[in-house]
Structures are given as C-alpha cells and as structure tokens.
Amino acid sequence: MTDRSHAGKPIRTAITDEDGIDFAIIELFFFAYRDFTSDPDQILADYGFGRAHHRVLHFVNRRPGLTVAELLDVLKITKQSLARVLKQLIDTDHVVQLQGPRDRRQRELYPTAKGRALALALARPQSRRIRAALEDSGATERTLVERFLEAMVNPELRAQIDIGSAKMSGKSHGEH
C-alpha cells in the first residue's frame, strides 16, 4: 500500500511546447509507431511472438549470414534476451544457425523459407502504410524523410544503416 501522506498534489494542466520541448513531433512518433507496429503485432500474436522476434526476423532476412554478435550489436539487446527469442525462432523453423566457415565459434543466422514468408508477411502492411504516407506527402519528400530518420540515429551507429544499404544492394555478407 502506498503512503499518500507525502504524495504531491495532482497537476491538472498539461505540459506544453512552452517548456521548450517539441511535443507535437514526439506525439506523432508515438502514434505513428503504434500504428506502424499494430499490423505486425497482430500477425506475431498468432505465433506467440513479439516485437523482438520481428526485429530478429527482419535483420536475419535482410542480412543472411549475420552473426549472432553482429545481431546483438544491431539490436542493442542482451545475449540472454536474444537467446530466448532466437531459440523460439530456431525451434519453430523460422531461422537456422550455422557455424561460421572461418571461425567455428561464430554462429551465422539464416532465414528458412518459413522465416522468409513470415518476414514478408510482417513487412507488407508496414510497406503499404509507408507507401500511403509518402503518396500523401509527395514523392519528392522521401529523401527528406530518409535523411530525417537517419539523423535520428546516434551518429556512431549510422554505419549500421550503411551496412544494410550495401546488403540491400546485392553485396553478399562479408564483401566490401
């Protein structure tokens, strides 16, 4: 039970932009993220999966051969958190883990056909939402949106975006 004798009085006025904080953009991020994740969340629930599973599936499918260490670096989660999620994805045949060809201690991650299908099912509604939003704002705005989102990423971590771009352009894992 909480001791209410020292509890403060309720404040009945909202904090506003006058406090020097851009609450309009912050709230847009909250609402956009809520809706951006809502469709995949419904699909994931059917599998007993959550957003961590989605992130792992996304990056394993975008960068087949990604090592566990590289995935930990991208996701910024603990080994323990990843181990639980990865075990579920492996046990349900969405991801396979193979020994690295050069270093047997390394574990490389690859999607299975089942994992690829789920990753695409999760990405499709998000892609439709992005496409609709870009159409509403004009195609010329895409570069501005991309620059803005990249600028939101910590500068020392932006290289991870470039890794994804190189991978997406067709370079195989490990090529420079």
Above 80 in pLDDT, residue 165? no
Report the alpha-carbon distance of residue 169 to residue 176 in Å, rounded.
12
Helix (H) or strand (E) holding 51: helix 51-62
Which residue in the block uniquely carries the two structure tokens 């939101």? Answer: 152
Q: Determine if residue 5 is left, alpha or beta; phi over 0 gives left, psi from -120 to 50 gives alpha, anything else beta.
A: alpha
**What does the DSSP assignment read for 117-155?**
HHHHHHHHHHHHHHHHHHHHH-GGGHHHHHHHHHHHS-G
- pLDDT tens-digit readout, 69-92: 999 999 999 999 999 999 999 999
Measuring CA to CA, which residue among 136, 105, 113, 111 is closest to residue 53? Answer: 111
Q: What is the pLDDT of residue 161?
A: 83
Q: Are 102 and 16 within 8 A, CB to CB? A: no
Q: What is the pLDDT of residue 103?
A: 76
Q: What is the pLDDT of residue 144?
A: 86
- pLDDT tens-digit readout, 148-160: 889 898 988 888 8
CA distances from 18 to 10, 22, 27 (A): 20, 9, 15
Above 80 in pLDDT, residue 4? no
Upper half-sphere CA count for residue 54 (Cβ side, 13 Å)? 19
Confidence of residue 3 (pLDDT cuts 50, 70, 90): low
Q: Are 30 and 123 within 8 A, CB to CB? A: no
In the chain, the N- to C-terminal Cα span, in Å, equals: 60
Which phi and psi (to 5°) does residue 67 adopt?
Answer: -85, 160
